[in-house]
Structure 1
Amino acid sequence: MSAPAPGQITAPDWLTHSITAAHPAEAAGWLADLPALVAAQLTRLDLTLDRVLDPGGTLSLVAYVHRNDDLTPAALKVSLRTPATAHEPEALTTWAGRGAVLLLDAHRTPTSGVLLLERLHGEVPLRSLAEPKAMLEATSLLHRLWLPLPDPPGPALPEAALTLPETAPALPEATPLLTEARETATALTASATERFLLHGDFHHGNVLAADRAPWLAIAPRPLVGERAYDLARLALDRADTLVGSPGVPAAVRRRLHQLAEALDVDRDRLRGWTLVRAVDLALTALAANRRPEAELYLEFAGAL
């Protein structure tokens, strides 16, 4: 097989597998069109491709590029357009670099979203820090991202949160937790009073070292809703170390208490959303045939 021509891309295997598992109907066509789309955007923006990041994102190809006029480094992100990714440019525009990667250009096609972003240090995620320091940095950053706006970009939280299926396929032992998660999500969305712009997928892997600031958030899946929903995803970070520690229920309660106190979030609502998001992550992992990961999140949910 001949090598790709300069500027031509090949989708990483991780992206191919993850996008096929998540969106089987759209994956083949989108992946087939991806090289031509990237080439067209390199021309439109007068960029030179440096390299494609591997693995990159689960729904996005990410490439390091530089501007031809002044050699400024940047990152080109091309995503399959889904409800989860559709409002990323609006959220980044709202933040305008405050706590998040800076958006330099945005372009949409019927099936894709194309973002030109400032280049961060992709090899240095917040996960590279020890957990106590990482959590301290993460909570500080979340506090900056949460904006109380009347009509921020993104779908309303009930629309995003109440998507849990009735049953867990191939994992019948999860059914009691799934039932509880559905009931909890319904109760929490019915009683929510906050309307904040949320990141939607905030965890240590989605925070990178930067030159402009110590740490900046990337890859939002923006939502409108209460802060406890966003904080719940952070509570689930490094679940393997927490589940592997002695006294798991006590360790989980301690983490929730510390996070809720650090950001002045109601602890009971944080517990509820953490249950919902743990079950959701378990089902997502199961759909992608990652059963050990699914079982990990279900064990975390059970500890709640």
Structure 2
Amino acid sequence: MPNPEPGRPSTLITVPESFREMPRWWHDVAGRDWLDALPDLVSAQCRRWDLDRDGPVMHGSNALAVPVRRHDQRLVLRLAPPGDDVAGEAAALRIWDGRGTVRLFDVDHADRAMLLERLDGTRTLRSEPLGVAIPIIAGLVGELAVPVPDEVRSTASIARAHTEKFERDWSALDGPTPRTQLDRALELAAERATETVLGRAVDGDLHSDQVLAAERAPWLVVDPVLLRGDPEYDFARVLWDRLDELPDRTDVLGAFETFVAAAGLPDDRARSWIVLRAMSYLLWGIPRGLTWDPPKCRRLLDLFC
């Protein structure tokens, strides 16, 4: 590895062991090779974009984030592993253009690198009480609802897929919920599949850990998944992500009512998507050996079916 230029800090990083231990890499040989190559990839990208390292390395479950500077500009270099759709992620961020989301400054598709606005990686919305976090998320749902092209995947198409898969997946697991809950989920999926789709953006992965404190705005979303359609699509994830903080039925229903009121969304449509998302995640998670989240999905189904 070449020495850094005189007067410039080294861009050589050490990949955190906590990142290497993420479940994603357990059966991913290409991913583990990528982890080994990361120090060189970071240094090369810093040279290419004229960046200086500016803080400790951070990570989520998939990507590595390195605080950097370009002259006086504080940024983050994000590198994603093989298989990640960085082109799609960059295109989504360009559509949002900083409206509710982190801002994109540059992208290198070949090396799956993005240069992003610097947010406070030490403070997510999980640090706030749920009673504070839910109205913030509701506000972000509205801010994220920017116009999107018709070719963006719609929530109606996801509901249509549920009508085709729920019965088969439920039967393959010997009926992990009461039959009445499956029937209700199928009924709601058919309704959401045939409703007119709004031409507005939806984040398909919105929860407390994906909302970071920022300078340009109090809170901004990172790693959004671009969809088109129903804005209440992913509120179920907000609930199951912090369901242990809502011990009673009245607590969960109160959180739901706070969200729909703050977001100005239809109560019935929001209930529908909680059922659909909870059933979908339950049927996906059980065969993959998840043990922590399926009981939360069952709890939501018991409350909202």
Rounded Cα–Cα distance in structure 2 between residues aligned with 1:293 and 1:102 = 31
What stretches of structure 1 of length at least 5 have no aligned partner?
none
1:97 aligns with 2:98: yes
Partner of 1:222: 226
Q: TM-score, normalised by structure 2?
A: 0.79
Confirm or deny: 8 A CA contact 2:11 2:46 kept in the other structure: no
Q: Report whether the alignment pairs 1:19 with 2:20.
A: no
Residues 101-137 of structure 1: per-residue CA shift (max 9 Å, x gap) = 111111212xx63211111111111121122222222
Normalised by the size of structure 1, how large is the TM-score?
A: 0.79
| % identical equivalent positions | 29
TM-aligned CA distance change 1:83 to 1:75, over 3 Å: closer
**Where does residue 51 of structure 1 map in the other structure?**
56
Alignment gaps of 5+ in structure 2: 1-9
Using a 3 Å threshold, how does the CA distance of structure 1 residues 118 and 12 change in structure 2: closer, same or farther?
farther
Structure 2 CA distance, aligned partners of 1:74 and 1:28? 26
Is 2:43 the partner of 1:39?
yes
Residue of structure 2 in register with 1:269 after alignment: 269
Cα distance in 1 between the residues matched to 2:169 and 2:177: 6
Residues in 1 aligned to 2:187 and 2:80: alpha-carbon distance in whole angstroms: 32
Secondary structure of the structure 2 residue equivalent to 1:127 = helix
Q: Give me the whole-angstrom Cα distance separating, in 2, the residues matched to 1:191 and 1:82.
A: 33
CA distance in 2, matches of 1:188, 1:80: 34
SS at match of 1:174: coil
**Structure 1 pair 239/19, CA: closer, same or farther in 2 (3 Å)?**
same
Following superposition of structure 1 onto structure 2, how do residues 126-141 of structure 1 map, counting pairs within 5 Å?
Answer: 126-141=125-140
Indicate the residue corresponding to 2:6 in structure 1.
Answer: none
Q: Equivalent residue for 1:190?
A: 194
The aligned counterpart of 1:10 is 15
Q: Name the SS of the counterpart of 1:148 in structure 2.
A: coil
Go from structure 1 to structure 2 and tell me whether the alpha carbon gap of 1:186 and 1:29 turns closer, same or farther (over 3 Å shift): farther
Q: What letter is aligned with 1:174?
A: P
Shift of 1:288: 5.8
Shift of residue 12, structure 1, vs aligned partner: 4.5
Shift in Å, 1:255: 2.9
CA RMSD of aligned residues (A): 3.2
Q: Conserved in 2, the CA contact under 8 Å of 1:15 and 1:59?
A: no
Decide whether aligned partners of structure 1 residues 85 and 254 sit closer, same or farther in structure 2, where only a CA change above 3 A counts.
farther
- Counterpart code for 1:156: S
Kept in 1: contact 2:20–2:35 (CA 8 A): no
Residue 229 of structure 1: CA displacement? 0.9
Give the partner amino acid of 2:176.
A
What residue is the counterpart of 1:207 in the other structure?
211
Greater radius of gyration (CA)? 2
Aligned to 1:66: 69
SS at structure 1 position matched to 2:237: helix
Which residue matches 2:3? none
Offset, 1:148: 3.2
Cα distance change of structure 1 residues 236 and 265 upon mapping to structure 2, 3 Å threshold: farther
For residues 6 and 108 of structure 1, do their structure 2 counterparts lie closer, same or farther at Cα, with a shift above 3 Å needed?
Answer: closer
CA contact (8 A) 1:15 1:58 kept: no
